[in-house]
Structure 1
Amino acid sequence: MRKGGATFVALFFWRNHMQKIAVIVAGGSGQRMGASIPKQFLLLNRKPLLYHTLYSFLHTWDDLSVILVLPEEHFETGRAIVADLQAANRVTLTKGGDSRFQSVKNGLALIHHPSVVFVHDGVRCLVSSDLIRRCYEQTLRMGSAVPAVAATDSIRIVQEGKHQVTDRNNVRIIQTPQTFLSEWLVPAFDRPYEESFTDEATVVEASGREVHLIEGDYNNIKITRPADLLVAEQILASISQK
């Protein structure tokens, strides 16, 4: 076999033996929602937000597994949602930490094989299979895929009590699933937390890796306030009409 053919076979074998793992972080308290229950359990079309999130990943590939990071006191609720999805054999629950960084780290501790790892906010419940697949494909090529959309509002930077306008064409709003090869992501989290770690991309960058953006999806909103839930209902209604 020629060298080029051998390389193709090796890449094909590597690609098809990489596990797909989604670390779904759902540790929110719901304070900004003014709700009595954590926001990931609020209902959207009669199903918890977390149900929709899990559904999107589980139905993108049959061979994708999920590590669901939850507060320990909400494990039973999480198990009930997983049972409703008939996915108990594909979802592993683990306890969240005191910060997002620690929660993600707890999830990554369960990854022991070469994988493409998606880290996703549990309340980004409208994530599409198309975005998930595009993140996967780019990560295989480039090592990472961080979804981002262009800013649509005017942007001002505030520093030391003063502010100035900046070109919004140079601004990107970051989303999830932030996706990486496990050989990039898992070692990157083997460090103490720093205030500059606002997401997985900043942790990976601190390890010396270059992070690559990918076009996100404006429908991929994060539910943090009551108005977001109304917008999500409208988006779901528009999708169902197509």
Structure 2
Amino acid sequence: MTLPYGPIMKEFAIIVAGGSGSRMKSDLPKQFIEVNGLPILMHTLRAFRAYSPSLQIIVVLPASQMLYWKSLCLSHGFIIEHSLVEGGDTRFHSVQNGLNSITDTAGLVTVHDGVRPVIDPQIIALGFREALSQGSAVTSVPLKDSIRHVDPDGNQALDRTAFRLVQTPQTFHLERMRHAFTMGYQPQFTDCASVLEQAGFTIHLIEGSYQNIKITTPEDLEWAKVYLNP
């Protein structure tokens, strides 16, 4: 099969890290909380660099956190190459800023939550491979629990096999991303897949991992310590 852009395309990763620490009950933004001796965000960047030494990594942070991040890199001797981009008011605007920092006209771009440090490089690789041929690759996992739909009149059971839990990374052709993110922000844009879908593109799902947790609560932090234990 002939690939749409040939066998080699430049690859970019936009790591969005704009969380606070409110649900973690911490004054420190959660991406900077240490797990097994390293800030969470550093674990995430290590996974992406393990995928490829040529991957161009873009970290999107609030402007108020950039100096602190740079100081953490110095104190930990963290030398993984990456560029810093100022975040926006919402996740949509932060990803948009990351995209605007890319000067290339073609390539593949993956977007990942900075506080998902337990990401397997093989899943990152799968995302890029599938996005190359399908145009998109959105990581997801099946539901393990029963679900019910709740409305003012009551609730009813739903078939959980008809649903998926969506994760990151989410990988797309750069041109599609650029086109989709020219739209104005809408509240239902909770991830890149929802933006691309609204722009008329088909979303292709790939298999993720239950270990690929988004660290949001103190319980998540304890699981991350287990999963990231060398």
TM-score, normalised relative to structure 1:
0.89
Deviation string, structure 1 residues 97-132 (Cα, Å, up to 9, x no partner): 111111111111112221110100000010110100
1:64 to 52, 55, 62: 55
Give the partner amino acid of 1:58: R
How far, CA to CA, are the matches of 1:29 and 1:38 in structure 2?
Answer: 4
Q: Is the 8 A contact 2:116 2:214 kept in 1?
A: yes
1:23 to 14, 23, 27: 14
Q: C-alpha displacement at 1:41, in angstroms?
A: 0.3
1:204 to 174, 196, 203: 196
2:36 to 21, 32, 45: 45
Q: C-alpha displacement at 1:12, in angstroms?
A: 9.3
**3-state SS, counterpart of residue 148 of structure 1:** strand
Query: 2:79 corresponds to which residue?
Result: 86
Deviation string, structure 1 residues 165-217 (Cα, Å, up to 9, x no partner): 11111110000001001011111000111112111001001111101000111
Q: Is the 8 A contact 1:82 1:91 kept in 2?
A: no
How far, CA to CA, are the matches of 2:213 and 2:174 in structure 1?
Answer: 26
Q: What number of residue pairs does the alignment pair up?
A: 227
Query: 1:104 corresponds to which residue?
Result: 95
Gaps of 5+ in 2: none
Structure 2 residue 71 is the aligned partner of structure 1 residue 73: no
1:154 to 146, 154, 157: 146
| Greater C-alpha radius of gyration | 1
User: What does 1:80-229 align with in structure 2 at a 5 Å threshold?
Assistant: 80-82=71-73, 84-87=77-80, 90-113=81-104, 114-160=106-152, 162-229=154-221
How far, CA to CA, are the matches of 2:103 and 2:209 in structure 1?
Answer: 31
Q: C-alpha displacement at 1:160, in angstroms?
A: 3.0
CA RMSD of aligned residues (A): 1.6
Instruction: Identify, as 1 or 2, the structure richer in helix.
Output: 1
Deviation string, structure 1 residues 50-80 (Cα, Å, up to 9, x no partner): 0000010012101101110001111123224
Give the partner amino acid of 2:201: R
How far, CA to CA, are the matches of 1:171 and 1:187 in structure 2?
Answer: 27
Q: C-alpha displacement at 1:225, in angstroms?
A: 0.2
Q: Is the 8 A contact 2:112 2:168 kept in 1?
A: yes
Q: C-alpha displacement at 1:85, in angstroms?
A: 3.0
Gaps of 5+ in 1: 1-6
Q: Is the 8 A contact 2:14 2:110 kept in 1?
A: yes
**3-state SS, counterpart of residue 176 of structure 1:** strand
How far, CA to CA, are the matches of 2:122 and 2:78 in structure 1?
Answer: 20
Moved over 4 A (4+): none
What is the percentage of aligned positions where both structures have the same residue?
42
How far, CA to CA, are the matches of 2:119 and 2:95 in structure 1?
Answer: 19
How far, CA to CA, are the matches of 2:97 and 2:4 in structure 1?
Answer: 31
